[in-house]
């Protein structure tokens, strides 16, 4: 972990398998713990240069990780992100 809570060092991130990321081909949004899953939801729309198919896969990856970490996600599709009712952003 990096100096700030919830951050992964760049070295640690390089060592993660592609499957540890919401967007595996881009290696964006690691899903290594509950905090990172929440951040992946909150930052989902900030990932650029990805197709709808990649977003579909990333959202499925996030949902699987959320289930693993026992996190509730209100959205059933990534197109619902940012609309109400929604999963609240993580508290800082």
pLDDT of 86: 60
pLDDT confidence of residue 7: 75
Residue written as token pair 């989902």: 44
8 Å CB contact between 41 and 73: yes
* Domain spans in the chain, listed from the N-terminal domain onward: 1-8+22-92
- Which pTM does this prediction carry? 0.81
pLDDT at 3: 39
d(C-alpha 77, C-alpha 59), whole Å = 7
Confidence at residue 2, expressed as pLDDT on a 0 to 100 scale = 41
Positions in the chain short of pLDDT 70: 1-6, 84-92
- H/E stretch holding 21 reads strand 21-23
pLDDT at 90: 61
pLDDT of residue 13: 84
């Amino acid at each position: 972990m990096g100096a700030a809570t919830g951050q992964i060092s760049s070295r640690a991130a390089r060592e993660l398998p592609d499957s540890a990321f919401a967007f595996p081909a881009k290696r964006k949004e690691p899903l290594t713990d509950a905090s990172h899953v929440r951040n992946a939801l909150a930052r989902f729309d900030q990932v650029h240069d990805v197709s709808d198919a990649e977003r579909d896969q990333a959202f499925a990856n996030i949902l699987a990780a959320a289930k693993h970490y026992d996190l509730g996600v209100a959205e059933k599709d990534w197109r619902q992100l940012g609309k109400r009712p929604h999963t609240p952003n993580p508290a800082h």
